[in-house]
Amino acid sequence: MKLDFVIFGGVGDLSLRKLLPSLYYLYRDGNMPSEFRISCVSRAAKSHEEFIGLVKSKLKEFVGDDFDEVVYADFANNLIYKKVDLSSDEDWVGLADCLNIQADTDREIIYYLSVPPTMFAPVCEQIKSLELNPSFSRLVVEKPLGEDVKSAQEINDLLSRTFDEKQIFRIDHYLGKPALQKILEIRNNYPALERRWNKDHIKRVNITVSEKVGVEGRVEFLDRAGVLRDMVQNHLMQILSLVAMDLPDEMQADLIRDQKVAAVKRLSVIDETNVNQLTVKGQYIAGELDGGSVPGYLDEIKMKNESAAGTGETFVAIKAYIENDRWQNVPFYLRTGKRLSERKAEVEIILENDQKLFIEIQPEIRFRNLSHINDLQINEKLVADDIRVPEAYEFLIHQIIKGDQTYFVRDDEIMASWKWIDAVRAGWATTNQQIENYKAGSNGPTLD
Other C-beta atoms within 10 Å of 17: how many? Answer: 15
Rg (CA), the chain: 23
Residue nearer to ligand BG6 on the CB measure, 25 or 393: 393
Residue nearer to ligand BG6 on the CB measure, 211 or 223: 211
Report, in Å, the least distance between residue 7 CB and ligand BG6.
19
Whether residue 122 has a cis bond before it, omega within 30° of 0: no
Total residues interacting with ligand BG6, rule: CB under 6 A: 4
User: What is the per-residue binding string for ligand BG6 in 277-316, x denoting contact by CB under 6 A?
Assistant: ----------------------------------------
| Residues in CB range of 276: below 8 A, 6 or more apart | 431, 433
| 98 burial via Cβ count (<10 Å: 0-12, 13-18, 19+) | middle
Beta bridge partners of 4: 37, 109
Residue nearer to ligand BG6 on the CB measure, 213 or 429: 213
Under a CB-based contact definition with an 8 Å cutoff, are residues 76 and 68 in contact?
A: no
Report, in Å, the least distance between residue 173 CB and ligand BG6.
6
DSSP 286-346: SEEETTEEE--HHHHHHHH-TTS-S---SEEEEEE-B-STTTTT--EEEEEESSBS--EEE
Report, in Å, the least distance between residue 230 CB and ligand BG6.
5
Residue nearer to ligand BG6 on the CB measure, 16 or 361: 361
Residue nearer to ligand BG6 on the CB measure, 46 or 335: 335
Q: Starting at the earlier edge strand, list the strands of the sheet with 332-337.
A: 366-368, 356-362, 344-351, 202-210, 332-337, 315-320, 279-285, 435-439
Report, in Å, the least distance between residue 211 CB and ligand BG6.
5
Under a CB-based contact definition with an 8 Å cutoff, are residues 378 and 186 in contact?
A: yes
Residue nearer to ligand BG6 on the CB measure, 39 or 238: 238
Report, in Å, the least distance between residue 221 CB and ligand BG6.
8
Query: Which listed residue (48, 173, 201, 235) is catalytic?
Result: 235
Residue nearer to ligand BG6 on the CB measure, 230 or 300: 230
Distance CA 344, CA 214 (A): 14
Angle at 10 between CA 211 and CA 35, to 5 degrees: 115
Under a CB-based contact definition with an 8 Å cutoff, are residues 341 and 443 in contact?
A: yes
Question: 230, 313, 346, 394: which one contacts ligand BG6 (CB under 6 A)?
Answer: 230
Our finding on whether 346 is near ligand BG6 (CB under 6 A) is: no
Residue 377 DSSP SS3: coil
Distance CA 241, CA 40 (A): 34
Q: Report the site for ligand BG6 in 188-227 (rule: CB under 6 A).
A: 211, 213
Beta bridge partners of 337: 210, 315
Report, in Å, the least distance between residue 191 CB and ligand BG6.
32
Report, in Å, the least distance between residue 282 CB and ligand BG6.
15
Residue nearest to ligand BG6 (CB): 230
Is 173 among the catalytic positions? no
Distance CA 113, CA 230 (A): 19
Report, in Å, the least distance between residue 215 CB and ligand BG6.
8
Residue among 204, 217, 236 nearest 337 (CA): 236
Q: Report the site for ligand BG6 in 30-69 (rule: CB under 6 A).
A: none
Q: Report the site for ligand BG6 in 79-108 (rule: CB under 6 A).
A: none
Residue nearer to ligand BG6 on the CB measure, 126 or 336: 336
Residue type for 378, please?
A: I
Q: Which residues are catalytic?
A: 235
- Contact positions vs ligand BG6 (CB under 6 A): 211, 213, 230, 345
